[in-house]
Chain A
Amino acid sequence: MNEPIGILIVGNDPTHVDAVARQPRARLVGVADQSAEDARAAAALLGCERWSTDVKSALAWPGVDACLIDRVDSQYEEIAEAASAAGKHTLALNPPTATANLHRRVHRRFAESGLILLDAPVRRMHDDAATVRSLAESGSLGRVVFVRLTSLSGSEARSGPDETGIESLRVEELDLAAWWVDDDPMSLFTRRGGTADSYECITLSFTGGATAICEIGTRAGPVGYREAFVVGTQGSVTVSPSDDPVLLLPNRIPPSGVGRQERARQRAVETWLDAITSGADTRVGPPRHVGVALAEAAAQSGRSGQVVPAHPGTT
């Protein structure tokens, strides 16, 4: 049996890397974070041997085969570059939403080094996303011609792991729509509404004629409301808000799935490890910069009120 893959965690949220800890194919080697206190605490909680505030030196620790970046900050490119320079396969769980050029550079670096980088939004790993994609791939739907995708954060500001900005939702949902349709995006048109433009309906057109409507809002709808309706030439599928096999029905806030995020992170880690161990295709759809480029175009359309071309690029 092969040795488990040694992983360095860059970040300090133990809940986000629980998926790695539960993988028999992986072994947590240590934690690197800007804050010594946080790094030490995370390492202790995860049962790691080592911690550091210096990512570059941590990447050189013996036994580190790969790197999991779980940080959204201005240092993402620097960390990713260090990982590729050190020859470490990398999983970016929550990379920044800007800019497409940044992600192109990072991707190119890993591709040139023959290293595996999985930087797709974790949203793509959620049950509904994976289900629709597998249906599309299997031919059950025929060619996908319409996607209606909704992701709303709730009308009241709140804290917690699900809280997300409109930029992040833009990237996630556009990436997902493009992944499901599996065609070249052609143009976008964004209508904005709500308080401080916190609500958007983005129409994404594809060269083959398919259309996706992505409805996103950070101050609208029930908390965590998600819905998808996908129409293909041979069939259609509806993913309801209660797609989770485990549903929490509290009295004071709307229902929410239990474990949705955790399963998605686990699926991301498994996909990444598959790629490292067996050379499986890591792309699982367009790389990060595609969704980011689409989000940039959508934002531009929202500002101008015009239809704008989509040029996300694919390399």
Chain B
Amino acid sequence: MTASPRKQLGVLLVGYDGAGIQNHQLDMYEPAFAAHPRFDIVGVTDDAAVTDHARYRSRDAAARLGVAYLDSLDDALVRPDVDVLSVCVSFDRRLPTVERAAAHHKHMLIDKPMALTLAEVDRITEVTLASEVVCMPAHHHRFKESIRRAAQLVERGRLGSLLAVHADFLVARGATKATAHDPTVWPLGELMNFTVYPVDTIRHMCRTEVTSVFATRGGFFYGGSDDEDFGVLSLALGDGVIATLSVGRAPLTGHLSGGEHRYRLVGSEGMLVIDAQESTGTLHGRDRARRVTAPGVTNSITAMLDELARAIDSRAFVSLGPQDARPALAVTLAARRSAETGTVVDL
């Protein structure tokens, strides 16, 4: 007896927007969906309020992909071949987009951070739960092979009692592929941009929640304290676990190409050192030295889409949802408050 073939999932790419020049739809989600065997991109659309420039970008993408550009999001949402939305609309238009998609029972992958306020995350949680759709924030770092293996080792007790986790996530490249060699600070600050990744990863590996935050932040690399490009967090988690993390965007000069991305877990029985860049060596060639990865290593975004497809197929257990976006955002907001007041902020 053979299993019945699973239905291909139709993907609607909604928006090529991001704060500043960031364009995750173009650089991350579009190519991953296009290459994934379970998904077919069936169209591109925008929120009605987008600028002409943004709409031009989306039309260009549709032409490049050989799919229809749909002028109206509402018209696109009634199409039966649309199962999943890849949502990269501006933050001020994100909640209304999600509400409309949920009303049409469409599943969603939502760019990170999912929203800028806890109230918006709560509303997204509410509408997607009510519509019984899968709503996945794009916290793809937890799907890295190294992180998955680490989480398994922790779960199996190989480290004994977990004492602490330490993370450094320092990006030394631009916000897009096109500007990789010309990094600038994210307009909303790199704490808001990046903190979600290590916090989600730490929560995922430790299976416990952050209870208090102390943080510092500054604008060191791009001139001016208003340009928040670097932050340091000290966290308390459940079960007495301590975490520290540094997050930021450094210039290319003086930093290894790509930056640093690592975790170190300290347990009563052992220590786990994780190279989250999953590199196997360092290449010293004609260009700046950079880490190289073995061919065939599964990309974390592809692995995230695997999980998205699985969640849509089964609906029995969705491992990543708005309930994970909320604590990550709460820590980010608490970190900013802590840095501003110089105090410890309890969650």
- Residues on A lying within 8 angstroms of B by beta carbon are 140-143, 145-146, 148, 150, 152, 155, 187, 189, 191, 193-194, 199, 201, 203, 205, 209, 211, 213, 215, 217, 220-222, 225, 227, 229, 231-236, 238, 305-307
B168 within 8 A of A: yes
Residues of A contacting B344 with CB < 8 Å? 189, 305-307
Question: What is the interface of chain B mostly: helix, strand, loop, or mixed?
Answer: strand
Q: Any chain A CB within 8 A of the CB of B250?
A: yes
Asked if B244 is at the interface (CB within 8 A of a chain A CB), the reply is: yes
Shortest beta-carbon distance, A132 to chain B, in Å?
A: 14
Distance in Å: Cβ of A146 to nearest Cβ of chain B = 6
Cβ of A221: which chain B residues have Cβ within 8 Å of it? 266, 271
Residue of A nearest to B232 (CB): A211
B255 touches A193 (CB 8 A): no
Most chain A Cβ neighbours within 10 Å, of B214, B220, B248: B220
CA distance A234 to B232 in the complex (A): 18
List, in ascending order, chain A residues with CB within 8 A of B256's CB: 236
Q: Which of B198-254 contact A (CB under 8 A)?
A: 214, 216, 218, 220-221, 225, 230, 232, 234, 236, 240-242, 244, 246, 248, 250-251, 253-254
Known: A189-B234, A213-B232. A203 touches B214 (CB 8 A): yes
Please name the residue on chain B nearest to A219 by beta carbon.
B268
A173 to chain B, nearest CB (A): 14
Question: B166 interface residue, CB < 8 Å from A?
Answer: yes
In the complex, are the beta carbons of B170 and A236 less than 8 A apart?
A: yes
Task: Please name the residue on chain B nearest to A189 by beta carbon.
Answer: B214
Asked if residues B254 and A201 are in contact (CB atoms below 8 Å), the reply is no
Whether the Cβ atoms of A238 and B271 lie closer than 8 Å is: no
Given the complex, which residues of B lie within 8 Å of A194, measured CB to CB? 163
Q: A143 CA to B219 CA in the complex, in Å?
A: 12
Chain B residues, Cβ within 8 Å of A201? 164, 234, 242, 244
Closest 9 CB pairs of A and B: A235-B254, A209-B218, A211-B232, A211-B216, A145-B220, A234-B254, A203-B234, A191-B242, A213-B244
Give the size range of B's interface with the partner.
Answer: 35 or more
Whether A225 lies near B271 (C-beta < 8 A) is yes
CB-CB < 8 A to B164: which residues of A?
A: 193, 199, 201, 215, 220
A-facing residues in B286-333 (Cβ within 8 Å): none
Residue of B at shortest CB range from A209? B218
A-B contacts, 6 listed (Cβ < 8 Å) = A191-B234, A213-B234, A221-B266, A233-B220, A307-B343, A307-B344
Contact among A146, A193, A234, A235 for B240, CB-based, below 8 A: A193
A residues less than 8 Å from B225 (CB atoms): 209
Smallest CB gap from B225: residue in A: A209
B-side contacts of A142, CB under 8 Å: 254
Given contacts A146-B232, A221-B266, contact A193 B216 (CB under 8 A): no
Check if A217 sits within 8 Å of B221, measured CB to CB: no
Q: Given A148-B244, A191-B242, A203-B214, output 8 extra A-B contacts at Cβ < 8 Å.
A: A140-B254, A145-B230, A150-B264, A191-B236, A194-B163, A199-B164, A209-B225, A213-B246
B257 to chain A, nearest CB (A): 12
Q: Which residues of the other chain, B, contact A213 by a CB distance below 8 angstroms?
A: 166, 232, 234, 244, 246
Q: Does B342 contact A (CB under 8 A)?
A: yes
Task: Given A203-B216, A213-B244, A231-B170, verify A236-B254 contact (CB < 8 Å).
Answer: yes
A229 in contact with B218 given A220-B266, A236-B170 (CB within 8 Å): no
Report yes or no: A146 in contact with B246, Cβ–Cβ below 8 A.
yes
Q: Which residues of B contact A306 (CB under 8 A)?
A: 344
B30 within 8 A of A: no
A211 surroundings in chain B (CB, below 8 A): 216, 232
**How far is it, in angstroms, between the C-alpha of A187 and the C-alpha of B232 when the chains are bound?**
14
Q: Report if B155 contacts A (CB, 8 A).
A: no
CB of A203 within 8 A of CB of B163, answer no
Query: With an 8 A cutoff between CB atoms, is B182 at the interface?
Result: no
